[in-house]
Amino acid sequence: MEAERLNQKYANAARSDEFGPWYVLDNAAMIFPVMSDRVATYLFRLAATLTEPVHLPSLSAALARIAPRFPYYMVDLHRGFFWNYLQPLNKTPSPVSDQRYPVQDFDVRKRGQFPFRVRTRGRRIALEMHHALSDGGGALIFFKTLLAQYFRYRGIESDPAPDIFDPDGTPHPEEYEDAYNRFFQSELPVPEARPNAFRIVSPLLPPYQFRVTTGILPVDKVKEVSKSFGVTVTELFCASIMDALQEIRASYPAWMRRRSGPMATLEVPINMRKIYPTRTMRNFSLYFMPSVDLRLGRYDFGELAELVHYRIKSESPEREIPRQMARNVGISRKRYVRLLPLGIKEVAMRAAYNSMGKRFMSGGVSNLGLLSLPEPLGSRVERMECLMPPSRVTCGNLGAVTWGDRIYANFGSLMKSREVERLAFKRLVSLGIPVRLECNMEDPI
C-alpha cells in the first residue's frame, strides 16, 4: 500500500505553486533535453499526404481549435534547479513551412517555443514532436485529432473514433501522468549489462542535412514472406537490417572488426499502454533489444529471422520489459540523485548515455503498424509515414507505417553512407518483395 501511494505521488506530473501551473517531465523524457542539439534533435515525425493541396487557413484554424484539448503539449521547456520542467505557454501554435530535410534545426531549450511543430507543404501535413513531450502513442492521437479537425473545417465530417479526441472534451487526469512512476516495481531486478554494439563507420552529412530513404512495399507480399519465416513484419525488418550490418562488418579489415562492438543490436519500441491500464499522453514506451553476435560467423537470413523472433519473444512485456522501468525509475528516485543540482545531473546523464546507452545500439525499428482514419477521412489521405529521431551514432533507424495496401518504410540518417538502407532493401527484394524507393536528397521538394 505504501509503495502504491508513493507511485501515485511521483506519477502526478501536473503541479502548481505560487508562480502557476507546471509539469514534471516523465521518467523517459528527463534525458532528452540534455542530449538534444539542433542536429540530433530528438524530434520524431508523423506525416500524412492528402489527395489534394493543404488549405493553410483551415490547418491553422484546426491547430488553434484543438490546442486547448492538449494543455500538456502547449508548453515550453524551462530549466529548474534540480530538473527541467514544462510550463504552459500562453500563445497559440501555428503551422510552418515544411522543408527538404525534416526533424532538423530545432532547439527544444529555446524559450517561448513549443516542443513540437506542425509543418505543411503541397499536399503534406507533418507533426514533428520532441521526445521530451511524448512518444508515438501520444503524438498519433494528437495528429489524428488535428487531421479530423482540419477536414471538419473543409466540410468533411466523420464518425467519432476512440483515438480522435473531441476538441470540446476535458482531459482525463491520467493523460497528464508519468506512467513509468505509476507502474514502477522496486522489487524487480534491473536488466543485465549488454555487450557493445557494432556500428558502421561513416562521416556525417553537412549540418542540418538529413537523408530519408523511403521504401514502398506491398503489404500482402511482406506478410506472405514474413509468414514463410514464421516472424512478424517488424521482425522481418529487423532481420534485414541485421543482415545488412553483418555484410558491412565483414567488409571491414580485421583491425576495424576487432575495434568495433561485436553485437548487432536493434532497439524496437513497445507501446506499454497495451500492457498497463493508463491513458497517459506522455512517454510510455520501453524496448525490445534483439541482438546477434557477429563474431560467431555468417548467419543466413532464415537464422537471423529466427533469432530475432525468439529473442523478442523471450523479452516478455509482462516480466522482462518492466525491468527497464525498475532501473530507470529506481535511479531517478534515489535521494542523492534528486538532491543533485541540474548541472551535475546533466554531466552524469551525458556520461551514462555515452558509456552505457548509445554503445549498446546498432539501430532501431519502430513499426506503428496499420493506421486508419474513419471514413470519409481515410479516403482523402493518400499515405501516412513516420520517421525516427536523428542519431549521430546509428544509421539503421527505420520507421514503418502500413496505410491501405502499402507499407511505407523510412530510413533516416545523418551519415553519408547509404549501405544499411541499400543492403536492407536489397535483401527484401531478394526475398521476392518489390520495393519502390524514394529519397529526399534526390527528388525535388
Q: What is the DSSP string of 184-250?
A: --TTSPPPPP-PPBP----PBPSTT--EEEEEEEEHHHHHHHHHHHT--HHHHHHHHHHHHHHHHHH
Rounded CA separation 4/340 (Å): 25
- One domain for residues 215 and 150: no
189 occurs within a structural domain: no
Residue among 264, 202, 266, 228 nearest 416 (CA): 202
CA distances from 43 to 117, 123, 127, 138, 226 (A): 10, 22, 10, 14, 30
Mind listing the pLDDT tens digit for each residue in 240-286?
999 999 999 999 998 888 888 899 999 999 999 999 999 999 999 99
Rg of the chain, C-alpha, whole Å: 22
Please report which confidence band the pLDDT of residue 355 belongs to, taking 50, 70 and 90 as the band edges. low
- One domain for residues 317 and 239: yes
Residue among 108, 109, 127 nearest 117 (CA): 127
315 occurs within a structural domain: yes
**Of 122, 141, 161, which one is at a domain's C-terminal end?**
161
Q: What is the mean pLDDT of residues 97-116?
A: 96
Mind listing the pLDDT tens digit for each residue in 51-89?
999 999 999 999 999 999 999 999 999 999 899 999 999
CA distances from 137 to 141, 275, 292, 315 (A): 7, 13, 28, 21
pLDDT at 170 over 80: yes
Residue among 308, 202, 214 nearest 264 (CA): 308
Cβ count within 10 A of residue 197: 25
C-alpha cell belonging to residue 215: 521504401
- One domain for residues 255 and 372: yes
5 occurs within a structural domain: no
**Of 161, 180, 197, which one is at a domain's C-terminal end?**
161
- One domain for residues 148 and 236: no
Mean pLDDT value across the chain = 94
- One domain for residues 36 and 156: yes
CATH of the domain at 53: 3.30.559.10
Measure CA 191 to chain center: 22
Phi, psi dihedral angles at 36 (to 5 degrees)? -80, 145
Cα dihedral 236, 326, 388, 160 sign: positive
46 occurs within a structural domain: yes
Helix 56-66 / helix 136-153 crossing angle, nearest 10 deg = 130
**Of 138, 161, 184, which one is at a domain's C-terminal end?**
161
SS3 288: strand
How many structural domains does the chain have?
Answer: 2
Q: Tell me, what's the pLDDT at 445?
A: 47
- One domain for residues 36 and 117: yes
Rounded CA separation 127/124 (Å): 10
Quote the domain boundaries for residue 132. 19-161
- With beta carbons less than 8 A apart as the criterion, state whether 106 and 77 touch: no
pLDDT at 290 over 50: yes
Instruction: Specify the higher pLDDT residue, 215 or 353.
Output: 215
Question: Looking at this protein, which amino acid is placed at residue 187?
Answer: E
- One domain for residues 344 and 243: yes
Sequence-distant (6+) residues with CB within 8 A of 379 are: 51
Mind listing the pLDDT tens digit for each residue in 376-408?
999 999 999 999 999 998 887 999 999 999 999
Sequence-distant (6+) residues with CB within 8 A of 319 are: none
Rounded CA separation 366/85 (Å): 27
DSSP state at residue 415: B
CATH of the domain at 362: 3.30.559.30
- With beta carbons less than 8 A apart as the criterion, state whether 371 and 402 touch: yes
- One domain for residues 265 and 391: yes
- One domain for residues 48 and 110: yes
pLDDT at 354 over 80: no
Is the model's pTM score more than 0.85? yes
Mind listing the pLDDT tens digit for each residue in 188-212?
998 888 889 999 999 999 999 999 9
- State what percent of residues in the chain have pLDDT above 70: 98
Cβ burial of 218 (10 Å; 0-12, 13-18, 19+) is middle
C-alpha cell belonging to residue 252: 571491414
- With beta carbons less than 8 A apart as the criterion, state whether 386 and 371 touch: no
205 occurs within a structural domain: no
- One domain for residues 110 and 235: no
196 occurs within a structural domain: no
- One domain for residues 157 and 218: no
48 occurs within a structural domain: yes
Q: Tell me, what's the pLDDT at 306?
A: 97
186 occurs within a structural domain: no
